[in-house]
Each structure stands twice: as C-alpha cells, then as structure tokens.
Amino acid sequence: MGVVGRRGSGGTTLTSLLQSSGMETDFIPTTPEFITKDWLVMVINQYRRLHQQSLLRSPEDIKDMACTPHPQARGILSNSYQVTVHFTCITSMGAEKLQYNFYFKMAVQEGPGRAEAVEAALLDREVETLLGLVPKLKRLVGEQEEGEQVELAVADIIYGSYSTEGDGVVVARDLLAEGYTHPTVGPGLPLPTLVAGVEALARLHATSAVLLEREGVEQVLEQLPHLDQGYYDHGVVRDRMAELLKDFCGLVRRVPGYHTQYQRMEGWRARAANIITSTRRRRAGPPLVCLTHGNPSMDNILVREKSVVLTDWKGAVLGSPMSDLAMFLLSSTDLATRTDHLYQLLDTYNFAFCRAVQRLGLEPAATWPAFSPAALRTEFDRCLFGAFLQVAAHLMEQLQALEAAFRRQPTEEAGLALRQVGRRAVELVEEACGGAWKAMPKGCVESEASITLILPPPKNSIF
C-alpha cells in the first residue's frame, strides 16, 4: 500500500510516531476490526503529546474500546463511527482512569460509492484540507495580539492519513459526545441557527482570505494543489450528480401542474455539472478568493447553542465565498425564510466577514479596494443558479434517505420530515423557474465574468 499522506493535528508528520510504537508506517485501518490497541495508542499519544500531557506506555493501558456506527452515517461515500476508549495513564496525580470519545471516518470498501471515493480521492482531499490548510488558519488566529479570537467552525483533527489506493482515515473528537447535535432535516434551520451558520461561514472565509493575501494564492496551491481541482470535475462525481438530477426531474414531473417546470429542469440537467463547476471556479484577475467548504448544507453542520461546526470537507476548494453562502441558504431554508430574511442575512455575513478581517489585522476596503455590499449581492445572485442545481441533487439524496427510513419504520415523524423536505424541493423549483433570480444565465450558460467583492466594515450588525 502506497501511503502518500500522513499527518497529525497541526500538520505534524507521524512516521516517527508509528515507528516508535512498533507499527508499520503504511498502516491504515479500513474497517473497525482493524482499529487495534496498538494503533489507538499511537492516536491517543499524538493527541496527548500536542496537549503536553503524559503518554500511554503500552497497549495494555487501554482497558476497553467500543466502536459503533455513527447515527447520521449513510455509508455511501464513507463509513463513520463513534469510538469510545477507556484507558489508564500515569500522570502527576498518579494512575488516572480516562475516557476519550472519538469520531472515525473511513473510505467505503464496497458499493457504488467506492469508485467515487477512489477516483475523486475524497479522503485525500479531506485529510489535506484539514491537516494541510486548517492548521495554518488556526495559527493565524492564534497570532492575534489582543481581543476576542476569531472562532473557526472546524473541529480539531487528531489524525489523518490516506493511500494511493483510495483508502484513508480521519480521526477527530466526537462532538456528539460533547453536546453538539445535527439539525432536524425536515423544516429547515431555525433563524438563530441560520444566522450562526452564516457568521461561521463568514469567519472561515475571512480567515482564509487573509491567509491567502499574506502567503499568496499560488504559493498555497503549490503545497495543496487539490484546492485548485474542482470536486465536480471528476467524471464519477458528474455521473452521480446526473443520476440524482434525473431522479429529481422525475419528482418534479409527478407534481400536478408542473409540466413546464419539469421541461425546464430537463433542459438544465444536461448542463448542471458545467454550471456548478463554473460557479465555483477560481477565476483569473483580482477577485477575492478564499477557502470554500463546497457543500455547507444542513447535513454537514453540527450545532451547540450558538456554535456551529462544519463537517465533511471533501469538496473544499479555493473559490468564491458566495458559492458557499448560496448553497447554505438554498439547502437549509424554506421559501418564506429566504423571502423575509435574505438581505438581512447577507448584511450579517458582510458584518461578520469584515469584523473577522479587522481582528486579523487588515482593513477590508484597503485590502480589496473593489469590495462592496453591492458587489456581494451581485456575486450572490451570480452563484444562485449553480447552487440551485447542486442543492437539487442534495435534496434528492435527502429524500431518498428519508424515504428509505420511512419504509423501514413508517413513523409519523419520518413521514413529516419526508413531506417537509419534498415541499422545500418543490418551492425551490418554483423559485428558480419563476425568474426571480437576477443573474439567471441566458440559455442556462453560466457567465464567466470575474467577481470582485468589496465589503467595507459596517457600523452595526443587523442581528
């Protein structure tokens, strides 16, 4: 097995740690059965070393380990698990009994998702983003001289590695065990959570934009070339997108009175992948470029009070921040929420972005001279149609999962969630076909105009 990526939290190479623990340096667990005590000692010691804590002496220090499937895992492109480890460690207080709760993510080993995981290098992309770029963002935040630090909506990654054969593993703290929850899928996000998500995206975008401004986009891409390679450029990803949109068109066709909408959807379906790629493409010239998550939907966030954490980073790429924001709002709200609060949410993004940039030592208007609230709205409009097609496929995937769950256990709650997501999908089609979006591409061909965003710092937040 050729291992080409192996890092620990903070980007530290782990070859020496593996060798010191007596393990082969190319070992990657592919199923829970391969999560051995020897390997767990290495992972736990990596975490404790970084926190300057005493280390486990041997695998015998681990007294018990339990691994269960993650409750929200679908097992399509990856398998996720909750792993609880009980161990004893000698500390300054003597022998202490401790418990760690981990989240493990592994590449699928069979099924249709395996081909996509291998061809699109999904674990490779995620490991390189989380352990190649995110630590740089956190160091940048840590360099703030005074004031409240910018909070990044990314979980601490303890370990990550991947192979040339498409296998890989990511290990993080289990945030579900720390009080985080997944939002309820059906009705869309409540407004307070929506605002928290918008602000979390703004802080992430702002921090990465500052990093790219200081280090240079091309220099960062030399180290992390995957951030310039679109997730939707892979043939197997396009094929899955095409299948989901075909099923989505079938859904629209069954809605009474939606024959015209169905015909328009059919016309858009063939061009969907190109339009999405064009929306997210890093463009030439002087536009604001930042790290974008790629798929910031309800499925990929965890919430605890006003704190939001983004998960599943396989689609990360350098691009327009508004491609993320459009995806987030279209996938996570109903039509009434978008109608009533859209421009307030854009203003909230504006404020959170500018405040984060200022805390990191730059002035938005001076750093990006053409950046304005009007340009932000124009760019958001430009990204809407590509985001709509991406969300249509995403909602179809949600509907299929909810329908399967309802068939297994036809409860009233499962039926309600299925109806709510179906209603949001139909509303979104009506919105797209109604001509309300200002930047609807002529002939459904995405404009190649370059984006330049400018956000001067406002005086007061909307919320």
170 membership: H or E segment, kind and range: strand 168-173
Of the candidates 328, 298, 123, which has an alpha carbon nearest to the alpha carbon of residue 205? 328
Give the pLDDT of residue 146.
67
Residue whose structure tokens are 């709650």: 413
Look at residue 272 in the predicted model and tell me its pLDDT.
Answer: 87
Which residues have C-beta within 8 Å of that of residue 113, sequence separation ≥ 6?
75, 76, 77, 78
List Cβ neighbours of 442 (8 Å cut-off, separation of 6 or more). none
* Residue 348, CA distances (Å) to 91, 197, 207, 374 in order: 46, 11, 16, 14
CA atoms lying within 13 Å on the CB side of residue 209:
33
* Mode of pairing for the β-strands spanning 157-163 and 168-173: antiparallel
pLDDT < 70 regions, the chain: 1-26, 145-147, 281-287, 438-463
CA nearest 356: which of 213, 452, 223, 227? 213
User: In a 3-state reduction of DSSP, which class is residue 107?
Assistant: strand
- The predicted structure's pLDDT at residue 440: 60
pLDDT the model gives residue 24: 47
Ordered by where they begin, the domains of the chain are: 3-140 (no CATH), 183-444 (3.90.1200)
User: How many DSSP H helices and E strands does the chain contain?
Assistant: 15, 10
In angstroms, the Cα distances linking 222 to 63, 125, 219 are 44, 15, 5
Helix (H, G, I), strand (E, B) or coil at 189: coil
Distance CA 349, CA 195 (A): 9
Sequence-ordered list of residues with C-beta below 8 angstroms from that of 359, at least 6 positions apart, any chain? 144, 147, 148, 149, 150
Q: At what angle do helices 259-269 and 235-253 cross, to 10 degrees?
A: 170
pLDDT at 18: 41
- What pLDDT is recorded for position 318? 93
The tokens 């509303």 sit on which residue? Answer: 427
Residue 113: the pLDDT is: 84
